[in-house]
Amino acid sequence: MALSSYRKDYPRPQFVREHWLNLNGEWDFRFDDGNVGEGEQWYRAFDEDRKIQVPFVYETKASGIGETVFHPYVWYQRKFSVPSEQQGKRVILHFQAVDYVAKVWVNGNYVGRHEGGYSAFSFDVTEQLVAGGENLLVVKAEDSDDCTQPRGKQRWRKENFGCWYVQTTGIWQTVWLEYVSPQYLESVKITPDFDTNSVRFDYRVGGNLSGTQADGGKDLLRLTTRITMDGKLIKETGILADRSALSAGVELISETREWRVETWSPRNPKLYEVEFILSDGDQVVDRVQSYFGLRKVSIQKGKVLLNNMPIYQRLILDQGYWTESHLTPPSEEAIIEDIDKILAMGYNGVRKHQKIEDDRFLYWCDVKGVLVWSEMAAAYEFNDQAVERFTREWLDIVQQYYNHPCIVTWVPFNESWGVANIFTDRKQQQFTEAIYYLTKSIDPNRPVVCNDGWEHTISDIITLHDYEESGAKFFSRYTHKDAITSNEISHMNAKYAMAQGYEYRGQPIILSEFGGIAFKSESGWGYGNQVDSEEAFLERFRSITQAIKDTDYICGYCYTQVTDVQQEVNGLLYEDRTPKIDMAKIRAINLA
């Protein structure tokens, strides 16, 4: 069941305020292939040559345009008004994702720039607004075919190829406004501690911290945190907001719960609700709803543990593409449908491949108990610019999605993409080490996989990719663990498990890509030979899945993939989410 703070289509479910305005819908739109718009001051207003449905990019049918030819510069504009009851508030303009560079103007005034196609960003636009009137919002999006920018599965050639698909240009997630007081809560980092039955809150407060109501403005603001579950108060704590960065720890043991605490897991995804209240005397100046799950991810003796118990991860690779809207979910209902079908097929998690997913997807994974491996979109060149772009965006993403209990693993790199010479190149190896330790400096509590698939440097889990069709051959190949982990033998594409200079140190081993079975009747490609019947599909699926399960040192797997994607037709579901195979039969094999 969804939480009491849930609001349909709310773009940031972990930090909810009551008053907001969704700016999705019809916008004016214009291509600018000659990049003349700034010189001609289109930011003051431009003559549109077509309309677009935000947040769908022009390459999609859902946008109303559906042109897949690449255009490097595109412009958007629309008008909005601030409701009279929100006058006097600060107005924050949010973009959940714009690919790749966004420049933003309000009423002809420049408010800011953001680089990075997968991270969210915002601007305080209060000073640029017309009091009580209409306001013009203009956005210029700049994209490129440059392989130093993190692209993920977006093609950089004119046509699709291999497993790379139509590019995504411009606004592709929700644009929205929210209204806050001059003093407000900027963010809260929530860190549960399973072993001590407690939770830590790291707050950031914005604005002047001196009160305005009590004692002539000399008293400080007070920040109250109320933790509840099922409508019952668990704990409440309050601190004075005497500085912008604050912290508080709260024990969660409560006699109102049968087991005194409630933990989060796929079998029982219990979530604590949290309300943060910033007060000036008796006046509430900000109120935010959130939630968290009490759970722990750790590693011991070659196993991944959830809440100190081994968990076998049955993941499915999920690229998050839809036929008419590509990377953008067509609706919240579509997100829920995907998750429900994944669970119906017996999987307990997803590896979100080469995409940072919509925050609402992660919310529903939190609610429904789905494990998520969060994987960064890859760049495809290695140089100083690529390192800078990747690092900046990745750190933003780790911080933005830190609070989701469903995320159990961070995956910054995949199959040596962007670090093609990592097997021997010390600079590229050091880059992955740096990302590993930077990630750990923000989040020491989740495993980090550096270079999913092969050629690992420093990594908490060793992951292998292998599209072997025969279960018998697979089982034979992986019989001798030491031969795999010592680089005595290679696996897929003659790749070794470890990069040169690195040794296996007893980490868990997970087969994080396999399968990819496609039917001969489909136009496109899968891995290995295509099959001609459901019986043949299920026999191969059963054979290879059971071989992985029978390899005792492998502690989880990830099947490729949940849906077809454009020319890649190896999904268990078609791209329109119609099942190719009886989902109950897939479930029976996964749970056997």
For residue 364, give the H/E element and its range: helix 359-368
Q: Which of 89-98, 150-159, 483-492 has the lowest mean pLDDT?
A: 483-492
Q: How does pLDDT run across 498-510, given as a tens digit for each residue?
A: 999 999 999 999 9
Q: How does pLDDT run across 114-134, given as a tens digit for each residue?
A: 999 999 999 999 999 998 889
Helix (H/G/I), strand (E/B), else coil: 333: helix
Distance CA 586, CA 592 (A): 10
| pLDDT for 216 | 47
pLDDT of 1 strictly over 60: no
Domain 309-591 part of CATH 3.30.470.20: no
DSSP state of 531: B
| pLDDT for 215 | 45
For residue 273, report the phi and psi dihedrals to the nearest 5 degrees.
-95, 145
| pLDDT for 324 | 98
| pLDDT for 218 | 53
CATH number of the domain located at residue range(s) 20-180 in this protein: 2.60.120.260
Residue range(s) in the chain whose domain bears CATH number 3.20.20.80: 309-591
Tell me whether residue 524 is exposed, middle or buried, using C-beta atoms within 10 angstroms of its C-beta: 0 to 12, 13 to 18, 19 or more: middle
Inter-CA distances, 485 with 81, 389, 452, 462, 507, Å: 61, 32, 14, 9, 10
Distance CA 261, CA 258 (A): 8
Residue 7 pLDDT grade (very low, low, confident, very high; cuts 50, 70, 90): confident
Residue range(s) in the chain whose domain bears CATH number 2.60.40.10: 184-292
Residue 264 pLDDT grade (very low, low, confident, very high; cuts 50, 70, 90): very high
Q: How does pLDDT run across 513-535, given as a tens digit for each residue?
A: 999 999 999 999 999 999 999 99
241 contacts 205 by C-beta, under 8 angstroms:
yes
Q: Which of 212-216, 224-228, 266-270 has the lowest mean pLDDT?
A: 212-216
Q: What is the pTM of this model?
A: 0.96
Distance CA 374, CA 412 (A): 8
| pLDDT for 214 | 44
Whole-number percent of the chain with pLDDT over 90: 92
pLDDT of 484 strictly over 70: yes
May I ask the CATH architecture of the domain 184-292?
Sandwich (2.60)
* End-to-end CA gap in the chain: 28
pLDDT of 374 strictly over 80: yes
Average pLDDT, the chain: 95
Distance CA 194, CA 224 (A): 23
pLDDT of 296 strictly over 60: yes
550-569: average pLDDT = 97
pLDDT of 211 strictly over 70: no
Distance CA 115, CA 100 (A): 6
208-220: average pLDDT = 59
